[in-house]
Structure 1
Amino acid sequence: MSILQAIILAIIEGVTEFLPISSTGHMIIGSSLMGIGTDPFVKMFTVAIQLGAILSVIVLYWKRFFQSFDFYYKLVVAFLPVAILGLLLNDFIDALLERVDVVGYTLLLGGIFFLFIDKIFKDNENSTKEIDYPTAFKVGAFQLFGLIPGMSRSAATIIGGMTQKLNKKTAAEFSFFLAVPTMAGATFIKMLKFFMDGNNFGSHEITLLAVGNVVAFVVAILAIKSFITFLTRYGFKLFGYYRIVLGILILVLYYLNVGLTII
């Protein structure tokens, strides 16, 4: 992997991680177009650069992270479902991650659902409900759907929040907060597995990781700020159309036997 390829993947990560459009689907398209292989370092890299995206949330919402311990307790409660069931279903999830067609179908079906989300939850717009412990747990349970490749962790948790009568802004922000322990845990597990499998890397790989995380951090900050404004003003419909187009594109390429790379 070259530095330019690492930068492009980091941009994709930064833009798509917090938007409800599936970072996995975009990584497939991006890596395939650039002809990036699927060696252990590349697979680890695509997860490790999430640390930059995580840091963007902490920087943008630093006051929330230093507000009270109650904030952290709610994150722990929300994180529990994916922490427990995610580990139990790890092999099943890994098998799904090898299926490009699953990513395409999930993007497509999710996109169709997105066309109706704003109408389904239109009564939430003026909601002032705050997140309590039961709500945090239920949103965390929805995060399990985000384990399905192509679904989007962000989409699953935002929709989960809206089912609990949260308005779009509150649901989206809690989705960002919940990403911190979830993505940090996923990164730790991925890196631990990388080293336990006997892999290692040198100065070039360290440079790639450093550059990737810095780029993902900067891009994620811009994406989060833009997303909140866009979501509250225009809703989910355009994201729905985008997911449908991307899902169809992936499926067409898949059934035409055009090489798409899962990383």
Structure 2
Amino acid sequence: MSHLELLKAALYGLVEGVTEWLPISSTGHMLLLGKFVRLDVSTDFWNMFLVVIQLGATMAVCVLYFHQLNPFSPGKGRAGRRATWLLWAKIVVACLPAAVIGIPLDDWMEAHLGGPYVIAAALVVYGIAFIVIEGARARRANEALRQAASGAGPRHMAPAHGEDELPLADRDARVTSIEELGWPTAIGIGLFQVLSMVPGTSRSGSTIIGGLILGCSRAVAAEFTFYLAVPVMVGASGLRLAKFFLKGNSFSSQEAMVLACGCACAFVVSLVVIRLLMGFVRKHDFRPFGWYRILLGAAVAAYFLFLG
């Protein structure tokens, strides 16, 4: 077993663990990384690896939010268990649009929309969307604050949780906790998740944008995005593994180690990144990620236009 291949797999796990949760497109980063760091594996294994490595990142959500997602968690009474089952029902229903549309079109999307220019365009378009949406939220919040200060508007913009708990632009959000997330909002976020079928869009990016548009605070939009990842990524990984084995493929010992190393690194890095992101969004908006997406999209397009 080559130690170099394990180092490469660890690097892919690092990139996956960072980019899966930040709204900056793991696909775009993996595409660029694949041009510079190539694994010594078969094409079928490579296509499977890029999807199944997400399982490591998903396990981080299960660990960090074990209490919230486990209806049998110690300390939960009947009401707590009922609330957790209700949350899971919303998660499953929100995932149905992506499953119904995504599974039949999975191969077609990969064949026709997996090119670098589509990915670059999606990076730029959604980067602009983040900047525009957050800019509009900031302007509304500042205008409401000015009105409150002049006595022409409400005296405060704080939700029931307390003014200091939310950034200024989140204080007029209708949904400031997961418990307040209603069925229409959950289903709406699920419909936005369908947009992530286009490579470069970013699953977290599309669902976070959906949550912001539908009136969620940044923290709620990000947290519900993490929850949606569990069934989506488990399902996508299972589907890709099934296709891999149905083609008559099997793992070599080296490929098994590469996959295990990539997943393990993605898991560890995700534990850190998820915590950092939740701390970040409680004080800042998503505009820095929007600018980063635009720059990355331009870099992807330029690379494949002149060097690819």
Shorter chain as normaliser: what TM range? over 0.9
Find the counterpart in structure 1 of residue 161 from structure 2: none
| Matched length | 258
- Mapped pair 1:20 → 2:18: no
- Mapped pair 1:98 → 2:114: yes
How do residues 34-113 of structure 1 correspond to structure 2 at under 5 angstroms? 34-36=37-39, 39-67=43-71, 68-113=84-129
Find the counterpart in structure 2 of residue 179 from structure 1: 229
Q: CA deviation at 1:128?
A: 5.4
- For residues 35 and 182 of structure 1, the distance between their equivalents in structure 2, rounded to whole angstroms, comes to 27
Identity of aligned residues (%): 40
- Mapped pair 1:215 → 2:218: no
- For residues 296 and 132 of structure 2, the distance between their equivalents in structure 1, rounded to whole angstroms, comes to 18
Give the conservation status (yes or no) of the 8 Å contact 1:96–1:148: no
After superposition, give the CA deviation of every residue in 1:226-254 in whole Å (9 maximum; x if it has no partner): 11122232211111111111101110111
- For residues 167 and 26 of structure 1, the distance between their equivalents in structure 2, rounded to whole angstroms, comes to 27
How do residues 91-170 of structure 1 correspond to structure 2 at under 5 angstroms? 91-122=107-138, 125-126=170-171, 127=173, 129=175, 130-170=180-220
- For residues 211 and 10 of structure 1, the distance between their equivalents in structure 2, rounded to whole angstroms, comes to 8
Find the counterpart in structure 2 of residue 30 from structure 1: 33
Find the counterpart in structure 2 of residue 3 from structure 1: 6
Give the conservation status (yes or no) of the 8 Å contact 2:5–2:39: no
Q: CA deviation at 1:118?
A: 1.4
Matched residue type, 1:85: I
How do residues 167-246 of structure 1 correspond to structure 2 at under 5 angstroms? 167-246=217-296
After superposition, give the CA deviation of every residue in 1:196-216 in whole Å (9 maximum; x if it has no partner): 011111221111121111110
Moved more, 31-40 or 81-90: 31-40
Give the conservation status (yes or no) of the 8 Å contact 1:117–1:236: no
Moved more, 126-135 or 154-163: 126-135
- For residues 89 and 41 of structure 1, the distance between their equivalents in structure 2, rounded to whole angstroms, comes to 21
- For residues 202 and 89 of structure 1, the distance between their equivalents in structure 2, rounded to whole angstroms, comes to 30
- For residues 216 and 209 of structure 2, the distance between their equivalents in structure 1, rounded to whole angstroms, comes to 9
- For residues 90 and 170 of structure 1, the distance between their equivalents in structure 2, rounded to whole angstroms, comes to 29
- For residues 95 and 39 of structure 2, the distance between their equivalents in structure 1, rounded to whole angstroms, comes to 32
Matched residue type, 1:125: D
Q: CA deviation at 1:95?
A: 2.4
- For residues 101 and 181 of structure 1, the distance between their equivalents in structure 2, rounded to whole angstroms, comes to 29
Moved more, 180-189 or 88-97: 88-97
Matched residue type, 2:170: E
After superposition, give the CA deviation of every residue in 1:142-187 in whole Å (9 maximum; x if it has no partner): 0011111111000100111112211000010000000110111100
Q: Compute the TM-score of the two structures, normalised by the length of structure 1.
A: 0.93
Matched residue type, 1:6: A
In structure 2, the gaps of 5 or more residues are 72-83, 142-168
- For residues 8 and 97 of structure 1, the distance between their equivalents in structure 2, rounded to whole angstroms, comes to 26
Q: Compute the TM-score of the two structures, normalised by the length of structure 2.
A: 0.80
Moved more, 135-144 or 224-233: 224-233
Give the conservation status (yes or no) of the 8 Å contact 2:114–2:199: no
Matched residue type, 1:48: V
